[in-house]
Amino acid sequence: MGAGREAGSAALRGLPAVHELAALLDAPHALSVAAARRAIDERRTAILGGEEAGSANLPARARELLAELDRASLRPVLNATGVILHTNLGRAPLASAAREAVARAATGYSNLELDLETGARGSRQAHIEGLLRELTGAQAAMVVNNGAAAVLLAVAALAGPGRGVIVSRGQLVEIGGGFRIPDVVAQSGATLIEVGTTNRTRLGDYQRALAQAAVEVAAILSVHPSNFRAIGFVEQPSIEELCSLDVPVLDDLGSGVLADAGTVPALTEEPPVSRSVSAGAALICCSGDKLLGGPQAGLLFGREEAVAAARAHPLARALRIDKLSLAALEATLMLYRDPARARREVPVLAMLEVSERRLADRAGRLRDGIGPAASLVTSVAKVGGGALPLLELRGPAVALASEQNPASLARKLRRREPPLIGRIEDGQVLLDPRTLADAEVPLAAAAVRSALDA
């Protein structure tokens, strides 16, 4: 014990000074010092943990850390999880037309808020409203920076302090990140009026609340349970029934389906925007980066006076969309003018519609590119992103056989360049080809080979 402590103390005393190690690195001073300090701190921790003194090459480790520090934190990854709208991986990948639009908008200046005809100040909403009206049939439309912002703005614009908002108890939901509907209503200053029960709410519950409320009822808020389903002894009035009541209806649809479910069968269980517009909802809210397949954005459609109230609210400026997201959204929406083209070119729709034959070919190429350690299995992909929680997309996946612990192998795959993200299932690392583009298959195979050899 004494000899071990003495050896550890000697190893600690033998660590170089930060400036000495930094001097060996070919980089700007601040980066060199940061990399050297991290390398020395790592080594000190290892020695205190009992690791042998001569088991690490400090200069080499400092150079590795230097490369990490000099690399952007936000990086592209290969998604082989089989989760199409993976929130941690940025949800919907953009169509090529949207990526090109972002590049154009990022180069130099743009007419973001300039009317080119008159030379006067314009509105960024002008670039998007016509498209949204055309695709949904709504009287008016606008866009903000994300789906939660759209709901908050809608409630704040139509309700606000001293007025009531009716919500079914079965729709007082929480979505990702702790975003809760009761908190949204509270932030708007409105009074939450709960009706019905967790599993059953009838039209009569709303009618009684309208007749008996102690405050003026400004709106009914209908919330689609995007990330779960209640089944069995359940009941909720339809959007058409709610719109028959003499009060504005705010419809939070969550995912936002513009594609025709008749041509994309996987979308059958998700309510389309067009239905709520036809029913007469005052404001309909949805996200841009879920089933719509665009960038992060919050879309609002509906009656002209309701959208005008949202635009005029002070929150609208705080929640406004930036020019790059606006460019990507416009390009994505333009694809929907041709439904067949949207199904081909919007990645989310293409992943939902991909044929069994193409998936099998992709999985086979991935297996062959990896070698003997890979085998084909049948697995289930998911939509993710709080959409279609019960939908199971069966198809092939590639299972990796390795003596390494699955968690260790998955970690090594994440450390490749580009990182490869799979999932662990039944004690194996699985790679699902549904969420890999054809051009990404060779990159994924190379990442696996490298990780298996490491």
Q: What is the pLDDT of residue 14?
A: 85
Mean pLDDT for all residues in the chain: 92
**Percent helix / strand / coil, the chain, rounded to 5:** 45, 20, 35
Alpha-carbon distances, residue 346 vs 135, 258, 355 (angstroms): 16, 12, 15
350: closest CA among 230, 241, 263, 236?
A: 263
CB neighbour list of residue 58: distance below 8 Å, 6 or more residues apart: 15, 16, 21, 39, 40, 43
- Measure the CA–CA gap between 217 and 214, rounded to whole angstroms: 9
Q: In the structure, what pLDDT confidence band is assigned to residue 5 with cuts at 50, 70 and 90? A: low
For 342-372, what is each residue's pLDDT tens digit? 999 999 999 999 999 999 999 999 999 999 9
Predicted TM-score (pTM) of the model is 0.89
Strand 191-195 versus strand 163-168 pairing type:
parallel
Q: What is the pLDDT of residues 382-402, one digit of tens each?
A: 998 878 888 899 999 999 998
Q: Which of 109-118, 381-390, 421-430, 438-447 has the lowest mean pLDDT?
A: 381-390
The reply to whether omega before 418 is within 30° of 0 (cis) is yes
Q: How confident is the model at residue 268 (pLDDT cuts 50, 70, 90)?
A: confident
Q: Which residues make beta-bridge pairs with 374?
A: 400
**Residue 48 predicted with pLDDT over 60:** yes
Residue (of 224, 254, 225) closest to 239 by Cα position: 224
Determine which of 36-45, 87-96, 386-395 has the lowest per-residue pLDDT on average: 386-395
Place of tokens 């079965």: 170
Q: What residue type is assigned to position 269 of the chain?
A: E
Mean pLDDT of 15-43: 92
Q: What percent of the chain shows pLDDT beyond 70?
A: 96
Rounded average pLDDT over 436-449: 96
DSSP collapsed to 3 states, 77-121: CEECCCEEECHHHCCCCCCHHHHHHHHHHHCCCCCCCECCCCCCE
pLDDT digits (tens, 9 = 90+) for 300-344: 999 999 999 999 999 999 999 999 999 999 999 999 999 999 999
Phi, psi of 52 (to 5 degrees): -65, 145
Residue position matching structure tokens 């008749």 = 262
* Mean pLDDT in residue range 115-122: 96
Residue 54 has pLDDT above 60, yes or no: no
Report all structural domains of the chain as residue ranges with CATH numbers, in order of start. Answer: 2-69 (no CATH), 78-88+349-453 (3.90.1150.180), 96-345 (3.40.640.10)
User: What percent of the chain clears pLDDT 90, i.e. is strictly above it?
Assistant: 75
